[in-house]
A and B are shown apart, each in its own frame.
Chain A
Amino acid sequence: MTMRFAILFAVLMPALNFAQTKTFTARELIAGVKAARPSGSLYARLRMEHGGTVLQVQVKRRALPEGGSESLYQVLFPAERKGEGLLLKARRNAFTGATFVPSKGVRTLKSGDRDTAVFGTAVDVEDLLASFLNWPDPEIVGQEKEGNIPCTIVELRAPKGSASTFSRARCWIDEKRYATMRVEFFGSRDKPLKTVTTHKVIRGSSGFYSPVNFTVTDHTNGSSTKVEGVRSDSDVTYSDADFSEAAFQSVTPAPGKGG
């Protein structure tokens, strides 16, 4: 009698466990990932390693009153490249921007320049915009472990008329932390054109988790860039001057925090 009860219990336990686990929809997962992305003002320092070259980069970002964000990326090291910059103003799937190289001046980015490499690395403007998160009708296509982390795979397809360089994206999402542990981008074929693999996720002061170490691999040319977060400060106070043409063409430190 005891043995039968034990067997029944062992069979029922997984079912009971399953019943207690919440199942997220694809929309909920994508909404969670979007909510976890820093939305206010931010200052960050990054270390990028590409093809043996190390770049130290600073990032200034602020939310815009009309929606969207404005970001300024600038190279701090090596000395011969200090001052190279990328300015992006993004709102949903549209963007305006410009690049700056001290010896060459400012070049305005057109809407078709989404594949512009950031400082010659495997990261491009499309990666910074992360517009795939706004694509409609996400769909859960599987469950898989990425590293040791159980993930739900969500697939998104670019809508008709999308300016994105990709037509499809697959995200491996850690449901517990709403963190994308891996993202694969596809063109018309089934082989990914680009992969972003997250190595480390940390919990910020907002309580949300953010990837801080990740590798971007461009499968079209076999290049890869390792991006490591060095430090970040949230709720910094920026003014229009911090994103002006003058600021774009000179390197200034992070402003103080909001009062």
Chain B
Amino acid sequence: MSFTQFTLKNLLRRPVRTLLTIMGIGLGIGAVVALLGLAWGLEQSWAEGMRARKTDLVVRKSGGGLVAQPFDESAVGKVRGVAGVAAAAGLMGEVLSVEQVPLMVITGREWGTFIWDSLEVKAGRLPAGPDEKAVVLGLIAAETLGKKPGDKITIEVEEFEVVGIVDGKAVVENGGIVMALPLLQSLMQKPALVTFINIRLQPDVGDPKAVAQKIEQELPGLKVEIAEEVFANSDSVKTFQAMNWGTSAVALLVGTFGVMNTMLMSVFERTREIGILLAVGWRRSRILRMVLWESIALCAVAGVLGIVFGIGMLKVLSITPWIHGRLEPYVGWDLSGYAFAMAVLVGLASGLYPALRCTKINPSLAIRES
């Protein structure tokens, strides 16, 4: 029997205990996968939306919250005059309850700008102009609302015609309603206001941050960020991520103590056996490695199960009304690898103390007392 086989056989001596420990740590790993999958999915959805719109920089009001504050749309003209800026477009974003749907993102986009270009018409057409009382729906929004081109849709006090269904190439785009900026400004009683300016830079701009700084100097009170980083930089997202990390840390800590308890019990039960192994010539370092390998193997199996469980939870969450159409939970090899590595680390951490206890066993006392 090899060292590895010997180690693994020890785990199967008490199969129920081993299974329960695996389930415990597996649940913790599953929770980590689900939480991180949601958080990374949220960031990725935003970044995809920015890439789809071919937006390099985003201007918004300083404050850092996820809910953007409106500012004067005259800032758009000023941004266009800054060196390095190829194009700028004003947007207003609102989250409203529309017909039977509890929450839906509605964007008002400046007519004739590049942020309409990313919308691929799948049915119907785009609005004919900024004054047409018409909207287009993202693919997922159309499905959620049950609308097709030609239907009417009530948004706040007004009724609009759905003229088209579009593919915005990103979940965050496809889950929303798009209309011309003046329509949304009028609807929300926020004339001449925008909540974002999307900027496309000249191709030869080497340092986007330098252009961002120039814009901030031109427009005090406004913040300019790299488009894909806007979401991750917001205070609300940072708080959400901190909560995720905190919850994950607690789950893993609980799992660590659970595994440590199991390993300690296992070691105590095998005191005589370990004494015999030491008596027949096993080095203490080998005993230490044996216990550590047992702990790591236990947690590795738990990690795999936890990853499967976590991915399952993400799939279920992705079809719930709170998530569907708003973000695509992230399920990637790097997330699985990260979760597996955490499981192995838990195995190492939880097996260390029992392993060290083993090395202090006196062989003759262990054999005599047992």
Contacts and interface: CB of A to CB of B under 8 A. Distances in A.
Interface of A: 45, 47, 54, 56, 58, 76-79, 82, 228, 230-231, 233, 251-257
Interface in B65-103: 96-100, 102
Query: When A and B form their complex, which 3 residue pairs have the shortest distance between CB atoms, in order from nearest?
Result: A54-B100, A230-B97, A47-B97
A206 B96 CA distance: 22
Contacts of A252: 157
Nearest to B103: A230
Contacts of A230: 96-97
A251 B158 CA distance: 9
Nearest to A236: B189
A77 B189 contact: no
Contacts of B159: 79
Given A54-B100, A56-B99, A231-B96, A251 B154 contact: no
Question: Interface on chain A toward B: helix, strand, loop, or mixed SS?
Answer: strand
A110 to B, nearest CB: 30
Nearest to A254: B189
B154 A76 contact: yes
B97 A56 contact: yes
Contacts of B154: 56, 76-79, 82
Given A47-B102, A253-B187, A254-B189, A228 B157 contact: no
Contacts of A231: 96
A56 B98 CA distance: 8
B283 interface: no
Nearest to A233: B189
Contacts of B156: 45, 58, 76, 253
B340 to A, nearest CB: 34
**Which among A54, A77, A82, A254 has the highest number of chain B CB atoms within 10 Å?**
A77
Contacts of A76: 154, 156-157
Contacts of A254: 189
Contacts of B187: 253
Nearest to B94: A231
B193 to A, nearest CB: 12
Contacts of A58: 156-157
16 contacts: A45-B96, A54-B99, A54-B100, A56-B98, A56-B99, A56-B154, A58-B156, A76-B154, A77-B154, A78-B154, A79-B152, A79-B154, A251-B157, A253-B156, A253-B189, A256-B189
A248 to B, nearest CB: 15
A83 to B, nearest CB: 10
Contacts of B100: 54
Contacts of A82: 154
B97 A228 contact: yes
Nearest to A77: B154
